[in-house]
Amino acid sequence: MIKKIVKYFFIFVLGLLLVVLVFLFSAGLWHRWVTYPRFDKQVKAFQDRRKEPEALTALHTYRGALHAHSYWSHDSRGRLSDIIPAAKKAGIDFIFLTDHAHGDKDTIPRGYHGYYDGVLIEPGTEREGYCTWPLDSAVIDWTVKKDTVVKNVVTNGGIIFYAHSEEEHNWDNPYFQGMEIYNIHTDIKDESLRPLICNFITSGTKYKEWAMREIFDEQVDILAHWDALNSKRKIVGFAAVDAHENQNIRARYLEDGRVEWVGPDNHAIDTVEASIWNRWMFHAPDENGWIFKFMTDTYQASFNMVTNYVVADTLSVPSIANSLKKGNLFIAFKSLGDAKGFMFCSKNAEGKVSGILGDSVRIDNVKSFQVVSPLPGQFRLIRDGKVINVSADDQYQFTWSEPVRKGVYRLEMHIKIDGKYIPWVYTNPVYVY
């Protein structure tokens, strides 16, 4: 009798556990087996429609990650062996790091600096709500008034961009040259974490990119704010990956043979003995010594989710920095499709290019705007924050030659996947004055 009761009790508990698991993972399982395979197929079909467009300028386009963290930040362990292979796989040409400062005196350059396996790395800092790259040897004294730091860096040739545009800033400080118009970390703030984590458990291996894109929301308020600022002064828009590769659970052997567990935000969880209770979970150490990895925000997935395409003459710090300051860049959600080859420019009466995205051009030099894209979609021309023209679907080209008047013209490209339009490219404006 007792045996029977125990047996039924166990069956009941197991059944209950199963119900709870199915409940927790139902959305994730549905994504893994239904939504993501379908989405993946549609994205691949979209990417297969690639046609190299005509080059409107002799300049090159380099793919870059701006606002990323390495081991120098307290909340990341990323080393070159993590960062560079990820950058290569994501097709990234340069990374402008923004490590958190260690103290009140911040010496730059520090850490990584230069070319690593062809990937250009420039060090910088994220502090007090901004991304800064002094570009030269500099000691930043953070005890000095914030606006003074900004002024000093910029007057010495460096770059200061607003980080985390959802936060409070002194938006009227004229020394700031740019702002984030998309940041993965900003976007994730309104998500509830449980479904995201369940999703990564079910789809993180096969469909990491789509599990990551679950966080995506069009940053309507930030874009509107950017337009409003641009109506007063030029402010460059860029994408921040804010990659730390730190939302993970990992384990590795310490020198004494014990196992260290590291959790989210680079916090050590525990150090334990290896035993039959945990050894079954471990694999052979990878190139960084990890024997267990459950990873969400990998460098590769972050670099691939949103990418800056900078138009410049060479892959060097002076050239890239110069283009960043001028706003000669557009951003694209690259996991949907690589936007290399895309270009937005103004043309004069003779049909010659008079300016590209980010440039300021005199009104008598602008007869029309032209856009070319390697992948088809819908073009939306925006003047002073208002959409003034929307092209038909599935276009590779867009020309607008209504009488052009003075204003700030930027372009968005949206693509149709799974029956829905989603933003793919945001350009910096052409400023017609």
Total of chain residues touching Zn ion, rule CB under 5 A: 2
Q: Does 126 bind Zn ion (CB under 5 A)?
A: yes
Window 378 to 417, contacts with Zn ion (CB under 5 A): none
What's the CA gap between 87 and 150, in Å, rounded? 30
Toward Zn ion, which CB reaches closer, 69 or 347? 69
Nearer to Zn ion, 243 or 336 (CB): 243
Phi, psi of 92 (to 5 degrees): -85, 130
Check residue 82 for interaction with Zn ion (CB under 5 A): no
Least Cβ distance, residue 67 to Zn ion (angstroms): 6
First-to-final CA distance of the chain: 90
Q: Which stretch binds Zn ion (CB under 5 A): 43-51, 125-133, 349-357, 378-386?
A: 125-133
- Tell the smallest beta-carbon distance from residue 241 to Zn ion (Å): 9
In the complex, least distance from residue 126 CB atom to Zn ion, rounded to whole angstroms: 5
Closest CB to Zn ion among residues 43, 131: 131
According to CB under 5 A, which residues from 146 to 165 bind Zn ion? none
Helix axes 2-30, 193-203, angle to 10 degrees: 90
Query: Smallest distance, Å, CB 56 to Zn ion?
Result: 34
State how far the Cα of 267 lies from the Cα of 428, in Å rounded to an integer: 38
Q: Which of 242, 297, 338, 359 binds Zn ion (CB under 5 A)?
A: 242
Stretch that binds Zn ion, among 50-58, 242-250, 361-369, 415-423 (CB under 5 A): 242-250
Q: Segment near Zn ion (CB under 5 A), from 48-56, 122-130, 165-173, 419-427?
A: 122-130
Report how far residue 218's alpha carbon sits from residue 115's, in angstroms, rounded to the nearest whole number: 34
The stretch among 118-126, 187-195, 301-309, 335-343 that binds Zn ion (CB under 5 A) is: 118-126
Residue 245 is a binding residue for Zn ion (CB under 5 A):
no
Q: Name the minimum Å distance from CB 268 to Zn ion.
A: 21
Closest chain position to Zn ion (CB): 242
Shortest reach from residue 100's CB to Zn ion, in Å:
7
The stretch near Zn ion (CB under 5 A) out of 9-17, 21-29, 123-131, 201-209 is 123-131
Binding to Zn ion (CB under 5 A) within 200-239 occurs at none
> What is the smallest separation between the CB atom of 85 and Zn ion, expressed in angstroms?
21
Distance in Å, CB of 242 to Zn ion, minimum:
4
Pick 237 or 355: Cβ nearer Zn ion: 237
Q: Which is nearer to Zn ion, 242 or 245 (CB)?
A: 242
Supply the minimum distance, in Å, between the C-beta of residue 154 and Zn ion.
Answer: 20
Q: Which of residues 24-43 bind Zn ion (CB under 5 A)?
A: none
Q: Which residues bind Zn ion (CB under 5 A)?
A: 126, 242
